[in-house]
Amino acid sequence: MEMPFDPWSPGFVADPYPAYAALRAGGRAHWFAPTRQYLVPHHADVSALLRDRRLGRTYLHRFTHEEFGRTPPPAAHEPFHVLNGHGLLDLEGPDHTRIRRLVAKAFTPRTVERLEPVVHRIAAELVDGLVADGGGDLLTRVAEPLPVAVIAEMLGIPASDRPLLRPWSAAICGMFELNPDEETARRAVAASVEFSAYLRELIARRRGEPGDDLVSALIAAHDEGDRLTGQEMVSTCVLLLNAGHEATVNTTVNGWWTLFRHPEQLAALRAGEVPLSTAVEELLRHDTPLQMFERWVLDDIEIGGVTVERGSEVALLFGSANRDPARFDDPDRLDLARADNPHVGFGAGVHYCLGAPLARLELAASFGALLERAPGLRPVREPRWRPGYVIRGLEELLVTP
């Protein structure tokens, strides 16, 4: 089979779904030489491997780089790896459990429910601003400021500092794309140094003057029982700030572009014929904002007759899993009323998205406000996709109310 997977090609990024169909038809695990990974395209496998403890987001809780047959990253990249490696998402085992338990308290459905009025108010204000101006870029006017404001508020980042967050996050997230180049690494390292320094200072200030925010809560946990190191605290804050908006931004913008291309479905949604929460899940499935997540293989496994040895890396293709006909009826069809929808957009297993209830609230608020307050919303022109494949989103989405 010719390898249809080409994450660096604009055509593939714009529409990876035909390539995924070819991969699924061709087998359950495909060696991809350019990134030295096995690509896993089926829903059943992605879902099972996310829950399989023989795989992990890191191997460093069990092996050194050398024991695992890997070369350590270059010393110049260390600030990025130190920052990334001590956040919740890139820890495994007892460290992951300990930090997740602490942070999870801030993201229970009940805590998130309390944010509801604020989130709806911000969404309404942003949409009203866009309408008053006669339209603009949905990304910068609504999709981005809403989740940034919410997560920054939760962490207690002063409003005047919020413009710093997006560029730092974007520079760091560049490293999550496949085979990042040296320039991407240089920018990620610079952002890691600045972002860490910023948070250390914020933490020092909050220690002297605690507030009703998550940073103060983490400091209290750290100071009382030494349950969180200083580095873990900084890394987890950065993770929350980045994970707390990147995918929500893209789900909003990609989701509206999908709706615009399905006018009958959009009309049904506007008419209230489909529950908004069901529609949001379908948009997450149909055009998954985070297309792929990787796992290290910590003990040999077998996928569809292929032995994948310890030390290998697998790339779980979420975007493909969510279009797998073995799991979803007519998977390429957008069906906003789809009832049976076990998509893997938020992952599964121990790293299942901690922010899923918050993301769902934000998406319901922004889609709801746009449907209600901008009932004639339409695109101005066809948008372009940004080059990234893993975190996949449009460059902009110009709309008129």
Per CB under 6 A, residues contacting ligand HEM are 57, 88-89, 100, 147, 151, 239-240, 243-244, 247-248, 251, 289-290, 293, 345-347, 351, 353-355, 358-359
Structure tokens at 310: 């310890």
Nearer to ligand HEM, 169 or 251 (CB): 251
Nearer to ligand HEM, 331 or 347 (CB): 347
Give the residue nearest to ligand HEM (CB). 355
What does the alpha-carbon distance between residue 165 and residue 171 come to, in Å, rounded to a whole number?
A: 10
What does the alpha-carbon distance between residue 177 and residue 174 come to, in Å, rounded to a whole number?
A: 6
Cα 78 to Cα 83, 147, 170, 176, 294: the distances in Å are 8, 29, 18, 15, 20
Nearer to ligand HEM, 147 or 331 (CB): 147
Q: Which amino acid is at 357?
A: P
Least distance to ligand HEM, CB of residue 358, Å:
5
Least distance to ligand HEM, CB of residue 6, Å:
22
Sequence-ordered list of residues with C-beta below 8 angstroms from that of 178, at least 6 positions apart, any chain: 7, 8, 34, 35, 389, 390
Residue burial 331-363, b: 16+ Cβ < 10 Å; e: rest: beebbbebeebebbbbbbeebebbbbbbbbbbb
What does the alpha-carbon distance between residue 401 and residue 78 come to, in Å, rounded to a whole number?
A: 47
Least distance to ligand HEM, CB of residue 70, Å:
19
CB neighbours (10 Å) of residue 152?
A: 21
Least distance to ligand HEM, CB of residue 333, Å:
21
What does the alpha-carbon distance between residue 2 and residue 23 come to, in Å, rounded to a whole number?
A: 10
Least distance to ligand HEM, CB of residue 18, Å:
23
Sequence-ordered list of residues with C-beta below 8 angstroms from that of 18, at least 6 positions apart, any chain: 4
Nearer to ligand HEM, 47 or 251 (CB): 251
Residue burial 72-88, b: 16+ Cβ < 10 Å; e: rest: eeeeebebbbebbbbbb
DSSP assignment, residue 376?
A: T
Looking at the DSSP bridge assignments, the partners of residue 301 are 308
Nearer to ligand HEM, 53 or 378 (CB): 53
Least distance to ligand HEM, CB of residue 76, Å:
26
Q: Are 58 and 90 in contact (CB under 8 A)?
A: yes
Nearer to ligand HEM, 162 or 186 (CB): 162
Least distance to ligand HEM, CB of residue 351, Å:
4
Nearer to ligand HEM, 29 or 364 (CB): 364
Nearer to ligand HEM, 57 or 187 (CB): 57
Query: Is 291 in a helix, a strand, or coil?
Result: coil
Least distance to ligand HEM, CB of residue 201, Å:
21
Phi, psi of 14 (to 5 degrees): -65, -35
